[in-house]
Structure formats: structure tokens, C-alpha cells
């Protein structure tokens, strides 16, 4: 009997996907720790398929160490900025991700959570209560920003950005501006969204939310100059990738009140925060949990298993990033 193809998973993912893989392949799941590049190279040796996470450095040396039988790298995320796509292409390895459509509801809801939390001082107000500082109703206590009818600007109008814009428009009657390389006719038609330049979006929006992939063009897209363009009453949300923001410049802009507040789920130096960020009251930070709902992670794991199965069966997977 021919031996089963070997699938290695760099950290435990949702069991729904693992079960699908285990029913067909010889699956090895690494412990829930981040491997060093050396450990990763040893772990992937002999694999036909590797399931990777955004915490893995998937470079040419890893692919070399895996061996020439490696056919597919299936990323358990929408983003794939940790993977050297060029190296994979050179080696004929297919790279897949999980579809934005699966993560969009959860990530968009988290972006909305951060928007409300920052606009209404949720965390300082909660701390105030817990410390017994609420003595009497105060007409000036924790005055925040209104959102209904305001302008929201999304950077990136893919599945997640569009879903966030839909919630803002349909739930809060917000006007939608978007910045993207492509036109998004669906949100123009459904939400009356307008495609604008980055500058126009930053100058006009009351809420700016980042939903772009991280690449050479988007790294440090927002820094000192861009924060100066934004309204001092504006809220900035990032559930995309940390390095799209120059985080040190953001700390300064928030401390100098050039921006009203920021809600961040991703960080430039993840898992570290830029110096001074955690001390600011006008910031809400969460540990990269945008897509962390049971259903979403289940869907992501199943999609990873389907992608691997397609490649190992000689078919084309639905979520190819590069081949
Ligand atoms: C993604 O999908 O890229 C998230 O950042 C991690 O789930």
C-alpha cells in the first residue's frame, strides 16, 4: 500500500480542519509554541503539505529544508506577508490562504467593536467604575464622539473592508469613502461609496479603518504626515497588519492630540507595543483577535484542509495566492 502523504501543521488549529486532514493524511501537529527558524526547518522535513500561521517565517530555507516533494503551503490566515511567494514560485510550490469571505464577518465586527470602544471611552469608563470613582451623574463625564451620519473611510475595499463599510452604512447611516487600487462597484452601488485618494480620505473621514494587505506599497502608509492630514476628532482603527502604520509616529500623534483615538488589533512590532502606546488613554489594544470566533476559525481550518486536499489530489484549490 502506498504511504499516505505527509501533512505538518506548525501549531494546533481548529479541530474541524485537523480531523479532515487526519482522515486522509499522516498529520503531525506541532505543540502550541512558535518555532525558531531552525526548529521550523527540522519540523517540515519530508512534508508534502505544510499548514503555516502568520507567526511562521516561511522563507526559501524552510522550503529547501522541507524537500522537493513539498507541494503546498496552506496558510491559516487571509494575510500571507510572512511567506516568500517568489521562493515558493521558483520551487513550484502552491501557496494558499483562507478566503477573506470566511473572516470578513468576525474581523469587521471586531473593527466595529474597536470603533465604538474608542469613540465612547469604553475602557477608561470601565476602569473608572471598577475603581469606585463613580460618585454621582456628571454632565461632562467621558464625552465621546458621535458616529451616526459621520464619514467612514476604509483603506482597502476587499471582503473585510466592504463588510465593515456595510455595517457602518446600514447600521449608522455613515457616508463611505474608500481608497483602493481597484474600483469596488458593489459598494459604490449598495452603499453609495466613493473611491477617493488617500489624502482626500484622511482629510474627510471621521473614522479611518485599515483593511489592506501588508506589502512594499502599504508598509508605513500612515505616518507623521498622514496623521497631520487627519481630523483631530478622527478615530483610527487597524485590524489589518501593524506595519501599515508607523507606530512610533502614531504614539506621538495620539499624545499630541492630533488624532482623537486609535483602536488597534495589530502592531508594527507584534507582539510588542511601540514605546508609550500602552500608557495612552485614547487607545484600545487587543491581541490580534479579529478573526477569533469559533465559527470563523472552524471555517478557516476547513478551508485549509480543502486547499491541501485539492493540491494533493492534483486539482486546483479555490484559494491560490501563488503557484
Ligand atoms: C488573517 O487572517 O490574516 C488574520 O490576521 C489572522 O487570522
- Pair 177, 310 in one domain: no
- Pair 106, 237 in one domain: yes
Q: Which atom of ligand 1 is nearest to the CA of 291?
A: 7
- Pair 77, 112 in one domain: no
Any domain includes 188: yes
Ligand 1 within 6 A of CB of 78: yes
Distance 142 CA to ligand 1 centre (A): 33
Any domain includes 156: yes
- Pair 79, 202 in one domain: no
Ligand 1 within 6 A of CB of 75: no
Please report how the helices 100-119 and 294-312 are oriented relative to each other, as an axis angle in degrees rounded to 10: 150
- Pair 280, 194 in one domain: yes
Distance 26 CA to ligand 1 centre (A): 26
Q: How far apart are the first and last CA of the chain?
A: 30
Per-residue pLDDT, 66:
98
- Pair 317, 277 in one domain: no
- Pair 143, 209 in one domain: yes
Return the DSSP state at 65.
H
Per-residue pLDDT, 1:
62
Distance 288 CA to ligand 1 centre (A): 8
**Which member of 30, 175, 211, 241 is catalytic?**
241
For the chain, how many structural domains are there in total?
2
Alpha helix (H) residue ranges in 217-283: 224-229, 247-255
Q: Is 219 a catalytic residue?
A: no
Ligand 1 within 6 A of CB of 77: yes
Q: Is 241 a catalytic residue?
A: yes
Measured distance CA(200)–CA(185) in Å, rounded: 19
Ligand 1 within 6 A of CB of 291: yes
Q: Which atom of ligand 1 is nearest to the CA of 77?
A: 2
- Pair 274, 130 in one domain: yes
CATH of the domain at 278: 3.40.50.720
- Pair 149, 257 in one domain: yes
Q: What residue numbers bound the domain in which 232 lies?
A: 101-285
Any domain includes 175: yes
How is the beta sheet containing 175-179 ordered, strand by strand?
A: 194-195, 175-179, 151-155, 207-210, 235-238, 261-264, 283-285
Any domain includes 255: yes
Per-residue pLDDT, 3:
86
User: Which cell goes with 295?
Assistant: 465559527
Tell me the pLDDT of the chain (323 aa) as tens digits. Answer: 678 999 999 999 999 999 999 999 999 999 999 999 999 999 999 999 999 999 999 999 999 999 999 999 999 999 999 999 999 999 999 999 999 999 999 999 999 999 999 999 999 999 999 999 999 999 999 999 999 999 999 999 999 999 999 999 999 999 999 999 999 999 999 999 999 999 999 999 999 999 999 999 999 999 999 999 999 999 999 999 999 999 999 999 999 999 999 999 999 999 999 999 999 999 999 999 999 999 999 999 999 999 999 999 999 998 999 98
Distance 176 CA to ligand 1 centre (A): 24
Any domain includes 234: yes
pLDDT digits (tens, 9 = 90+) for 136-178: 999 999 999 999 999 999 999 999 999 999 999 999 999 999 9
Ligand 1 within 6 A of CB of 163: no
Q: Which atom of ligand 1 is nearest to the CA of 103?
A: 2
- Pair 121, 46 in one domain: no
Any domain includes 1: no
Q: Is 185 a catalytic residue?
A: no
Measured distance CA(75)–CA(96) in Å, rounded: 6
Amino acid at each position: 500500500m502506498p504511504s499516505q502523504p505527509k501533512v505538518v501543521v506548525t501549531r494546533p488549529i481548529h479541530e474541524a480542519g485537523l480531523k479532515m486532514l487526519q482522515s486522509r493524511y499522516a498529520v503531525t501537529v506541532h505543540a502550541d509554541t512558535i518555532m525558531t527558524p531552525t526548529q521550523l526547518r527540522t519540523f517540515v522535513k519530508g512534508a508534502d503539505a505544510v499548514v503555516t500561521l502568520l507567526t511562521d517565517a516561511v522563507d526559501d530555507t524552510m522550503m529547501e529544508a522541507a524537500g522537493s516533494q513539498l507541494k503546498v503551503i496552506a496558510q491559516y490566515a487571509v494575510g500571507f506577508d510572512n511567506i516568500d511567494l517568489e521562493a515558493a514560485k521558483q520551487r513550484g510550490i502552491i501557496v494558499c490562504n483562507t478566503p477573506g469571505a470566511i473572516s470578513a464577518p468576525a474581523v469587521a465586527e471586531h473593527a466595529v467593536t474597536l470603533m465604538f470602544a474608542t469613540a465612547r471611552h469604553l475602557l477608561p469608563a470601565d476602569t473608572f467604575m471598577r475603581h469606585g470613582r463613580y460618585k454621582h451623574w456628571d454632565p461632562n463625564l467621558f464625552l465621546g464622539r458621535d458616529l451616526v451620519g459621520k464619514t467612514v473611510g476604509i483603506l482597502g475595499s476587499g471582503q473585510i473592508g466592504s463588510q465593515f463599510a456595510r455595517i457602518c452604512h446600514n447600521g449608522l447611516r455613515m457616508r463611505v469613502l474608500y481608497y483602493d487600487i481597484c474600483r469596488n462597484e458593489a459598494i459604490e452601488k449598495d452603499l453609495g461609496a466613493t473611491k477617493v485618494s488617500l489624502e482626500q480620505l484622511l482629510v474627510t473621514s471621521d473614522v479611518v479603518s485599515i483593511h489592506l494587505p501588508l506589502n512594499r506599497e502599504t508598509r508605513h502608509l500612515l505616518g507623521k504626515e498622514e496623521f497631520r492630514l487627519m481630523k483631530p476628532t478622527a478615530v483610527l482603527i487597524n485590524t489589518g497588519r501593524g506595519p501599515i502604520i508607523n507606530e512610533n509616529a502614531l504614539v506621538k500623534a495620539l499624545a499630541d492630540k492630533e488624532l482623537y483615538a486609535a483602536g488597534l488589533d495589530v502592531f508594527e512590532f507584534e507582539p510588542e507595543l511601540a514605546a508609550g502606546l500602552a500608557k495612552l488613554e485614547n487607545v484600545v489594544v487587543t491581541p490580534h483577535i479579529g478573526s477569533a470566533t469559533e465559527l470563523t476559525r472552524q471555517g478557516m481550518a476547513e478551508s485549509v484542509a480543502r486547499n491541501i486536499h485539492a493540491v494533493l489530489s492534483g486539482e486546483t484549490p479555490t484559494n491560490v495566492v501563488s503557484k
